[in-house]
Structure 1
Amino acid sequence: MGLLVNIDNGGTLTDICAFDGEKIYHAKTLTTPHDLTECLMTGLAALAEKTDAQGDLLKLVSSIDHLRYSTTQGTNAIAQRRGPRLGLLVQMEVDAIGLRAASPDLYDTLVGTRMAALNRRDDHAIIQAVRALVADGASRLVICLDGADAPDGEMRLRRLLYGAFPRHLLGAVPLLFSTELAPGADFDRRGWSSLLNAFLHPSMEQFLHHAEDRLRQQRIRNPLLIFRNDGGSTRVARTIALHTYSSGPRGGAEGGGVMAAHYGLDRVVSIDIGGTTTDLALFERGRVAEHAQGYVETAPIAFPVADVRSIAAGGGSIFAVRDGAIAVGPESMGALPGPACFARGGTQATITDVMLLLGIIDPASYFGGRMTLDRERAERAVREHIAEPLSISLEDALDRAEAAYDSAIADAVGKLGGESGAGALLAFGGAGPMSACGIAERAGISKVLVPRYAAVFSAFGIGFSPIRHEHRMEMAGFAPDQIRQAQESLTRRAARAMHSEGFDLADCTIEWSVVLKDGGACPIKSVPHSAQGMLGMEVVRPLASPSLGAISDGAIRAATAWGTRDARGGMPLYRVEDMTPGDSAPGPCLVEEQFFTCQVRAGWRFTMTGNTDLMIERED
Structure 2
Amino acid sequence: MTYELCIDIGGTFTDCLVEAPDGGRHIFKVPTTPGVFQNGFMNAIETSAEGFGMTLADFLQKVDRIVHGSTVSTNALVERKVARTGYLCNAGHLDVLTIREALPKPVFDWRLDYPDPYVSRGRTFGITGRMDAAGNELEPLDEASVVAAVDALRAGGAEAIGVAYLWSISNPAHEIRTREIIADMWPEVPVTLSHELNPIGREYRRTIATVIDASLQPIVSSYVRALTGALDAAGYDKDLLLANCMGGMMPPEELIRRPIYSVMSGPTLAPMAAQQLLPGRNLIVADMGGTTFDVSALRDGAPVVSPEAWIGPDMLGMAKIDVRSVGAGGGSIAWVDAGGMLRVGPHSAAAVPGPACYGRGGTQPTITDANLVLGYLDPDHFLGGSMPLDRAAAESVLSPLAETLGLSIEALSHAIFTTSNNTMVGLITDMTVKEGIDPRDSSIVVGGGATALHIAEIAREMGITEILIPRFAAGLSAFGGLISDMRREEVASQLHASDAFDVDRVNGVLDDLYAAGKAFLDRAGVPEERQRFDYVFLARYRYQSWEIEVPFMPTDGHITEADVEALVAAFHDMHERVYSVRMDGDVVEFTTWKVRATGVRPGRIAPAGMPAATSRSATPKLSRRVYMHERSGMVECPVYFGEELRPGDTLDGPAIIEEPTTTILVPQDARVTLDSEDNYQMLLGDVA
TM-score by length of 2: 0.81
Distance 1:97 1:187, change over 3 A: closer
Alignment of 1:318-329 (within 5 A): 318-322=333-337, 323-329=339-345
Partner of 2:388: 372
| 1:256–1:550 Cα change, 3 Å | closer
Matched, 1:425 2:444: yes
Report if aligned partners of 1:295, 1:305 keep a CA contact under 8 Å in 2.
no
Percent of pairs with identical residues: 26
Give the counterpart letter for 2:86 in structure 1. Answer: G
- Structure 2 equivalent of residue 452 of structure 1: 471
Deviations 1:26-54 (A, max 9, x none): 21111101211111111111222334xx2
Q: Where do 1:124-523 residues align within 5 Å?
A: 124-147=144-167, 150-163=171-184, 165-167=185-187, 172-239=188-255, 240-261=258-279, 265-266=281-282, 268-292=283-307, 294-297=309-312, 299-322=314-337, 323-384=339-400, 386-418=401-433, 420-422=438-440, 423-471=442-490, 496-512=519-535
The CA deviation at 1:614 is 1.1
Q: Does the Cα contact within 8 Å between 2:278 and 2:608 map onto a contact in 1?
A: no
Distance in 2 separating the partners of 1:124 and 1:411: 53
* 2:664 matches 1:591: no
Question: Displacement of 1:236 after TM fit?
Answer: 0.8
Residue 598 of structure 1 aligns to a residue in which SS? strand
Paired with 1:364 and 1:334, the residues of 2 have a C-alpha distance of 22
Partner of 2:136: none
Q: What is the identity, as a one-letter code, of the residue corresponding to 2:166? A: D
Contact 2:637/2:656 (8 A) holds in 1: yes
Structure 1 CA distance for aligned equivalents of residues 491 and 426 of structure 2:
41
In the TM superposition, what is the alpha-carbon distance from 1:319 to its structure 2 partner?
A: 0.6
Q: 1:439 to 1:203 in 2, by over 3 A?
A: same
Say which of 598, 602, 605 aligns to 2:671: 605
The equivalent residue for 2:43 is: 42
Letter in 1 for 2:624: R
1:14 counterpart = 2:14? yes
Task: State how far apart, in whole Å, the 2-side matches of 1:28 and 1:343 are.
Answer: 17
- Is the 8 Å Cα contact of residues 12 and 289 (structure 2) preserved in structure 1? yes
Q: Name the Cα RMSD after superposition.
A: 3.0
Aligned-partner SS, 2:93: helix
Shift of 1:355: 1.3
Give runs of aligned pairs for residues 516-531 of structure 1, distance below 5 A. 524-526=558-560
Q: 1:100 Cα deviation (Å)?
A: 4.3
Q: Distance in 2 between matches of 1:10 and 1:106?
A: 28
Residue 173 of structure 1: how far off its partner (Å)? 3.7
SS in 1 for 2:74: helix
Q: Give the counterpart letter for 2:14 in structure 1.
A: T
User: C-alpha separation between the residues in 2 aligned to 1:161 and 1:100?
Assistant: 27
Q: Counterparts of 2:390 and 2:604 in 1: how far apart (Å)?
A: 40
Partners of 1:586 and 1:490 lie apart in 2 by 54
Does the aligned pair in 2 maintain the 1:430–1:595 contact within 8 Å?
Answer: yes
Contact 1:406 1:442 in 2 (8 A): no
Q: Say if 1:105 and 1:336 are closer, same or farther in 2 by CA, change over 3 A.
A: farther
Query: What is the letter of the counterpart of residue 154 of structure 1?
Result: E
Q: In structure 2, the residue corresponding to 1:224 is in which secondary structure?
A: strand
Q: Which residue of 2 aligns with 1:582?
A: 648
Partner of 1:68: 67
Corresponding residue for residue 572 of structure 2: none
Instruction: Measure how far apart 1:547 and its partner are.
Output: 2.2
The change in CA–CA distance for 1:491 and 1:607 in structure 2 (over 3 A counts) is: closer
* 1:183 alignment partner, SS class: coil
Q: Could you tell me which of 546, 551, 554 is aligned with 2:610?
A: 551
Letter of the 1:398 partner, please give it. S
Match of 1:572 in 2: 638
Aligned equivalents of 1:537, 1:35: Cα separation in 2: 36
Equivalent residues in 2 for 1:59-98 (5 A)? Answer: 59-97=58-96
Distance across 2 between alignment mates of 1:425 and 1:115? 46
Structure 1 contact 341–353 (Cα < 8 Å) conserved: yes
Q: Give the Cα separation in 1 of the matches to 2:73 and 2:481.
A: 17
Opposite residue 260 of structure 1, the aligned amino acid is: L
Which stretch has the larger CA shift, 194-203 or 293-302? 293-302
Matched residue SS, 2:95: helix
Structure 1 gap ranges (5+) = none
In structure 2, distance between residues paired with 1:391 and 1:294: 41
Code of the aligned partner of 2:455? A
Deviations 1:438-477 (A, max 9, x none): 2223333333221221111111112221112444567799
Q: Is the 8 A contact 2:287 2:451 kept in 1?
A: yes
Letter in 1 for 2:287: D
**What is the rounded CA distance, in whole Å, between the counterparts of 2:490 and 2:173 in structure 1?**
20
Residue 600 of structure 2 corresponds to residue 538 of structure 1:
no
Query: What residue ranges of structure 2 are gaps of 5+ in the alignment?
Result: 104-112, 130-140, 541-545, 565-588, 627-633
Residue 115 of structure 1, aligned match among 106, 111, 124: 124
2:78, 2:311 within 8 Å by CA — same for their partners in 1?
no
Structure 1 residues 540-596: Cα deviation after superposition (integer angstroms, max 9, x where no partner): 222233224563454201101122223333211112221112211111110011011
Q: Distance in 1 between matches of 2:160 and 2:244?
A: 24
